[in-house]
Amino acid sequence: MIVLARWPRISACLDEALDLAPAQRAEWLAALRARDLELGADVAALLAEQGAVESEGFLEGSAQLPAAAAPLIGRRLGAYTLQAPIGQGGMGSVWRAIRSDGEYDAAVAIKLLNLALIGAAGVARFKREGSILARLQHPNIAHLLDAGTTDDGQPYLVLELVEGEPIDAYCRRCRLAVAARVRLFLDVVAAVEHAHTHLVVHRDLKPSNVLVTANGEVKLLDFGIARLLETDAVDADGSAPGRDATRALTPQYAAPEQLHGGPITTATDVYSLGVMLYRLLSGRHPAAADDASAAQFIRATLDTEPARLSEPTATSPHASSAPTEGIAAERATTAAGLRRQLEGDLDNIVARALRKRPEERYPTAAAFADDLRRHLAHEPVSARADSFGYRFAKFVRRHRAGVAAGALVALAVVAGVAGTVSQARRAEAQTLLARSERDNARRELAHSEASNEFIGFLLQEGGDKPFTTSELLARGEQLVERQFAADPTEGARLLLMLAEMYGQDNQQKRALALVERARAALRDVDDPALRARLDCQLALHLTDNGSLEAARPLLDATIARLRSAPLGERDRVTLAACLGSRADHADVRGDTRAALADAQAAMLALGDPRPEYRMLAIGTRSTLANLQGKSGQLAAAVVSYEQAIAEIDAMGRGRTRTATTFHNNLGVLLSKAGQPLRAAAAYERGLEIARGSSDSNAMLEANHAKVLIELGRADESLPVFERSLAQAQAHANPRAVANIALIAAPAWCARRDVARCAELVASARGLATMLPAGHARLGTLAMTEAQLALARGEPAAARAALERAVAIFSAATEQNTIGIRATTLLARAGLQVGALDAAAAHAAGAVAQARAAMGGFEHSEWLGSALVAQGLVERARGDPAAAQAAWRAAVAELEPTVGTAAPATAEARQLLSER
């Protein structure tokens, strides 16, 4: 790996080496190594890489397929038959194939791992590509259809077959104008944005990996060197993540940090997108000539500032041999017209994407796309410094017909004084912000003193006898009414504090009432930050009470209001809290992508918080961890939660409601990861804390009861479910009641108590009125309805409900592993009604999904249960050897995750013993 600090010396030596004839380089390189071994090794590595790339025709297209490819034509891989090779890369070869099992006719692409790479490291990286593709479901990404292994142990992936041409060739052939190219490019950015929201960085974005079909549909391909943002420090083979990825990158499109070994982030893909857009619009590379060597591209990317997009091609120092008029004609314009279209916004947008420091680029692909859309709509863009004249010009462009000559005269007058006014406004804004910060500091100090005195008095007065949390909160309300009647600002802040405590105590309706009282008290007070905090807290409680439609516009308006004004520290903290509330709202709606974006923005707004805001930062990180889990990165999410728990322990808050919540959420993540034993331990730790403080947590109780069933302790779970339901009903929390009923119902179905199971399912159906159509939780509801149908002896109805559940899970943005259970149960239901082929397909699908959803864990209960079902199918098909192999593999997955006493492990062992 080349270290950036050494690059100037490396670059100078590389220039000298490239000027030498090949025969002279060996002697020169030996002398360099004698003087400086490390420098000589760096230069030799770059020269060797350049030689390898040039010999493979790296920049000219795909390398030739090996002669050994011919015998593979006609070979059967599972349900598919290979027809013809499509391409060859470092990781493997890609083939056109057809479905040949008679189920249906379809052409697909099959990617085979190179035989030379079969081994722990190669297979692990190949599986990682499959895992990445499995989690990405977007119309502009070629999606994964299936996966398997050949009889000789060669892994393969079955992918959507894309019939198209590279995006640059498509634009050239269709002679697309600049605006049309930008619109087409936005589909590429949308695909990359989808990958980023699922925490995947592509790392090899280039025109040959973006195909456009005959009907103009964009498809992003090849995630072979993609990297998960929260990948562990080492891969399965013990190597650094993506250790050979740097060698596999394309120098023309690689970001500077890829070349000097820096951290890979979403900004890395933004840079590659910038290079691609630059080429699509101008017809040339931003820093080097098209015929440059790999080493020259590397040197130019690291050392040379990109030329302005609108610079005339013929006079640019990096010009290609193509004439200016020819490039313009390919864009349906003249050279002068092309220059005018590229000047201004597009110049600035592309320049920002191509900045050498990642933190100076667009932070996300979404932000890049937003500026491009605003440019197309003739609206101001963030990549250009704001000014009145700039915004007025955009207004004129959007409303040409309505702008009269008088407006032009006014514009001329305004232009004469704009500089003076702008400077005065900036000075005034800075003065106002300083005053606001000073006033806010005074308010914070006064509030701190008042709240400390308030809480101290509350606890001191209750020292004679034990009070429950509810009683203390009720006394707090009375105290605020009496003591702060004449101070509406402080009264509102203390009511907000009490509302947050009520929310933590699962008394959402009471919390909602207090927030509304606080907002009413603040009606005539000028405190925008506190008003914003109250509005966002109101939206949060509306969300918890199932009023999603009322909460969303309140959140959007408040966040927009905060962002429209200069932000002091208190305002940034308020903005972070509001973004966190909107992330929770989006999460409840099932929009994981939006939730993740808001949670990341909240962390950015917080920055490095002061000590009094550490809990808000920890809470925001926990939200991010939850969303990581929903995006499929379960092991990383578990680590994040364990770190959050360690932080609050270090702060002396390890036995608080927050700690209880964190242990509950950790248990939920472990359950989703197929780790019931570890989940039970997390839940039990949370319950131990809750019981020690006389607190109750209905969802924690219910989650623990659910995992007890999986561990074979069903008798212990029934009273726990009843108790947690009673708690939720006592707190009048309809969403909690419906959620607990949903996870409790299967316990009674399993005991054949059909009446009680049906009651709980009916209660759980209330979620349909609280959640948007297609929410993943409704898939769980359909799966529970299937379990009720099975308990009633109605296998056909159960199968229909499971098919509905699988459809919901497949379409949801959340990566919900419960969908694996639905597919596994669908395979068993197919066996019950005699649909053997369908059962086999569902069992294979469940196994493939479970392997793709391991989330960084070595074993998974989801995979073990799916393998049990697959073994049952193989036995029904008359292949006892395959059935036994599946059950042995199932036991290896189940024992470390649910233990030997669990029903699933017992079933697998019983099946193994039957001969």
Residue numbers annotated as active site: 204
Q: Which residue has the tokens 């995947």?
A: 200
Rounded-to-10 torsion of CA 708, 709, 711, 712: 120
Q: Which residues pair with 94 in a beta bridge?
A: 87, 111
Please list the alpha-helical segments (H only) found in 256-362.
256-259, 266-282, 294-303, 324-330, 335-342, 345-353
**CA dihedral for 620, 622, 624, 626, sign (positive or negative):** negative
How many residues would you count in the chain? 915
Long-range contacts of 745-748, Cβ-Cβ distance < 8 Å, separation of 24 or more? 745/784, 745/787, 745/788, 746/709, 746/784, 746/787, 747/705, 747/706, 747/709, 747/714, 747/717, 747/718, 747/721, 748/718
Helix (H), strand (E) counts: the chain: 39, 11
DSSP 8-state assignment for residue 211: E
**CA dihedral for 828, 831, 832, 838, sign (positive or negative):** positive
Assess contact for 495 and 517: CB atoms under 8 A: yes
The helix/strand/coil state of 218 is: strand
Q: Which amino acid is at 776?
A: A
Query: What CA–CA distance (Å, rounded) separates 837 from 435?
Result: 73
Q: What's the token pair of residue 442?
A: 């005074």
Residues with Cβ < 8 Å from 379, sequence gap 6 or more? 394, 398
Cα-only R_g, the chain: 31
Query: What CA–CA distance (Å, rounded) separates 670 from 639?
Result: 11
Give the distance between the most distant pair of CA atoms in the chain. 95
Query: By C-alpha distance, which of 601, 571, 570, 569 is closest to 583?
Result: 601
Task: Report CA 149 to chain centroid distance, whole Å.
Answer: 29
Q: Angle, nearest 10°, between helix axes 592-606 and 614-630?
A: 150
Query: What CA–CA distance (Å, rounded) separates 662 from 795?
Result: 39
Task: Report CA 48 to chain centroid distance, whole Å.
Answer: 37
The helix/strand/coil state of 147 is: strand
Q: Which residues pair with 87 in a beta bridge?
A: 94
Question: What are φ and ψ of residue 418, in 5° steps?
Answer: -60, -40
Query: By C-alpha distance, which of 790, 796, 741 is closest to 770?
Result: 741
Q: Which amino acid is at 67?
A: A
Distances (CA, A) of 628 to 680, 704, 809: 21, 22, 17
How many CA atoms are closer than 13 Å to the CA of 777, on its beta-carbon side? 23
Q: Which residue has the tokens 């009916």?
A: 762
